Amino acid sequence: MSKTNLTRRGVLKSGAVAGAGVALPTIFTASSAAAYTNEPTGGTVTLGFNVPQTGPYADEGADELRAYELAVEHLNGEGDGGMMPTFSSKELQGNGILGKKVNFVTGDTQTKSDAARASAKSMIEKDGAIMISGGSSSGVAVAVQGLCQEAGVIFMAGLTHSNDTTGKDKKANGFRHFFNGYMSAAALAPVLKNLYGTDRKAYHLTADYTWGWTQQESIAAATEAMGWETVNNVLTPLAATDFSSYIAPVLNSGADVLVLNHYGGNMVNSLTNAVQFGLRNKQVNGKNFEIVVPLFSRLMARGAGENIKGIVGSTNWHWSLQDEGSKAFVKSFGTKYGFPPSQAAHTVYCQTLLYADAAQRAGTFNPCGIVEALEGFEFDGLGNGKTLYRAEDHQCFKDVLVVKGKENPTSEFDLLEVVEVTPAAQVTYPPDHPMFAGGALGTCNPGA
């Protein structure tokens, strides 16, 4: 009895106070005074940087955060400006975005969909973030992208390599600068053909979850198209730490190439184990046995140590690139932190700049305005050459780097050497490619 009373009292009381104060319907409500979710009203605008700060990808997350801080500095006119002077669009003035000073909040994704969404929600609901960016895995990127679509804010994806992010799970409010499994495969295949010939038998070890599957599918399709045979594809549990029982069968399988569709700790361990079993020095069918790691990251390469030498893979960006944009970014980042940036840092820095520039060009923070400004946007000077943000799926199309573990590194950062820069045209695919089919972009959602 008193419980219902209480409820009523609670309601009455809040109603009374509501009468006294100014009751404003807020985000997520149909009838709102604001034009869109979290419309910045004061002299500042808040961006939300949602990166893994705990768990296995914490180091990558930390590097992303560094790049975000740097980007915010540059947007606010502090520091040396980084890639702002080399960026082909000259709208950004160094006075924040649209004259508003840029603030940021940070959160921890824990590399779990749930935690990442909780963190992003708190940024949107509590801190009034107008854009969410970051992440270091595809599951998280897709989950947060879905949330941002529903909430009516823009999502600028960080490190996410699964085809699904801009494939079957694409969303109008989400944008990906990073490359994907298909592009890795398209860039790698010609190089592999040159290096290892067309008569090869490939054995795939694949992380048993969506990213692993899409990458394996892409690589197998691309290598089979040039004449390779896929001998076997073995799915490995994400939780696996010792890969010996997956590597051992490779020895006598007749395969002469091992493709490791692993990332992070899985990649470090499976590669270490493969080298332990002598695969790098093995001869099969009269050829040298080769190992391929389709998605490389320098941070992870460091974890794999010596084992990485001579192993081919692809990467989104590398600090040793000599174009003006990359040089400016490496200089700016290196001066501030004392070591070169990772590809994750680069991609999130670009994303922040691209968002700011889009808002500047659109003249509004309204997500729909930003979507319009980014769709079909062509730019240059951010380190990957001429780049297009395709309107149909919000995927960036740019050059892809094929890299190889360096035999004689000169420093602890100098682990990869660029073998080839595959031009964007070669990795471009039609928006309705079967590997990306099944989803719908929907319409932009300004929330409110």
Partner 1 sequence: MDGIILQILNGLDKGSAYALIALGLTLIFGTLGVVNFAHGALFMIGAFCAVFVQRLLNLSFETVDPGKTDFLGNPSMVKTPYIESWFGHDIGSAIIDWSVPLAVLFSIPVMILIGFVMERGLIKHFYKREHADQILVTFGLAIVLQEVIKAFYGANPIQTPAPEALSGIATLADGIVYPVWRIVYFCFATVIIGGVFAFLRFTTFGMVVRAGMEDRETVGLLGINIDRRFTIMFGIAAAVAGMAGVMYGPINAPNYHMGMDFLVLSFVVVVVGGMGSLPGAVAAGFLLGILESFASTTWATTTIPGINQIIIYLVAIIILLTRPRGLLGKKGVME
Partner 2 sequence: MFGLNKKDSALLLLVAILTMMAPFILNPFPTDSGLAQFNAGYPDLMQRFVIFGIFAIGFNILFGLTGYLSFGHAAFLGVGSYSAVWMFKLLSMNILPAVILSVIIAGLFALVIGYVSLRRSGIYFSILTLAFAQMSFALAYSVLTPITNGETGLQLNLDDARILDPVNDSGSLPVTSLFGLEMRSSFDLAVGPWDFTFSVGYYVCAIFLLLAFYLAIRIFRSPFGMMLRAIKSNQQRLNYTGLNPRPYTLAAFVISGMYAGLAGGLLASMDPLAGAERMQWTASGEVVLMTILGGVGTLIGPVLGAGLIKYFENIFSKINDTVLHGWFSFLPDGIEDFLVTIIHPFVGKGWHLTLGIIFMLVVTFLPGGLVEGGQRIARLFRGKKTKDGADGAKTEPAE
Which residues form the interface with partner 1 (CB under 8 A)? Answer: 55-59, 62, 208, 232, 234-237, 239, 241-242, 244-246, 248-249, 251-252, 265, 268-269, 272-273, 276-278, 299-300, 302-307, 319-320, 330-331, 334-335, 339-340, 410-411, 413-414
Can you tell me which of 45, 65, 157, 396 binds partner 2, judged by CB under 8 A? Answer: 65
Residue placing its CB nearer to partner 2 in the complex, 88 or 443: 443
Q: Considering the complex, what minimum distance in angstroms separates the CB of residue 72 from partner 2?
A: 9
CA-angle at 380, arms to 319 and 215, nearest 5°: 60
- Interface residue with partner 2 among 150, 199, 242, 378 (CB under 8 A) is 150
Nearest to residue 125, comparing CAs of 100, 148, 102? 148
The two beta strands, 312-315 and 290-295, are: parallel
Q: Is the C-alpha dihedral spanning 378, 384, 390, 394 positive or negative?
A: negative
Stretch that binds partner 2, among 206-214, 217-225, 264-272, 324-332 (CB under 8 A): 206-214
Written as six digits, the tokens of 106 are: 């940070």
| 174-176 and 131-134 beta bridge pairing | unpaired
Residues in region 235-254 near partner 2 by CB under 8 A: 235, 237-239
Instruction: Considering the complex, state which of residue 26 and residue 288 has its C-beta at the smaller distance from partner 2.
Output: 26
- List, as one string, the DSSP characters of 97-117: BTTBEEEEEEEE-TT-HHHHH
**Distance in angstroms (rounded) separating the CA atoms of residues 152 and 444:** 8
Distances (CA, A) of 278 to 148, 195, 196, 206, 302: 47, 20, 19, 20, 20
Contacts of residue 213, defined as CB under 8 A and 6 or more positions apart, other chains included, come to: 206
Q: Which is nearer to partner 1, 296 or 379 (CB)?
A: 296
Token reading at 323:
């174009």
- C-beta closer to partner 1: residue 299 or 400: 299
Quote the least distance from Cβ 402 to partner 1, whole Å.
21
Among 44, 241, 276, 443, binds partner 2 (CB under 8 A): 443
Q: Which of 200, 162, 153 is closest to 181 using CA atoms?
A: 162
Binding-site partner at residue 367 among partner 1, partner 2, none, CB < 5 to 8 Å by type? none
Choose among partner 1, partner 2, none what residue 300 binds, the Cβ cut-off being 5 to 8 Å by kind: partner 1
Between residues 54 and 194, which has the closer beta carbon with respect to partner 1? 54
CA-CA distances (angstroms) from residue 47 to 44, 412, 427, 437?
10, 33, 31, 31
DSSP 8-state secondary structure symbol assigned to residue 137: S
How far is the CA of 131 from the CAs of 15, 90, 273, 376, in angstroms?
33, 21, 41, 20
Q: Choosing among partner 2, partner 1, none, which partner's interface includes residue 18 (Cβ < 5 to 8 Å by kind)?
A: partner 2
Q: Which is nearer to partner 1, 153 or 299 (CB)?
A: 299
Nearer to partner 2, 80 or 127 (CB): 127
CB of 225 to partner 1, least distance (A): 25
Binding site for partner 2 (CB under 8 A): 1-3, 6-7, 10, 14, 17-18, 20-30, 53-54, 58, 61-62, 65, 69, 104-108, 112-115, 117-119, 121-122, 125-126, 137-139, 142-143, 146-147, 149-150, 164, 169, 172, 208-211, 235, 237-239, 439-440, 442-443, 445
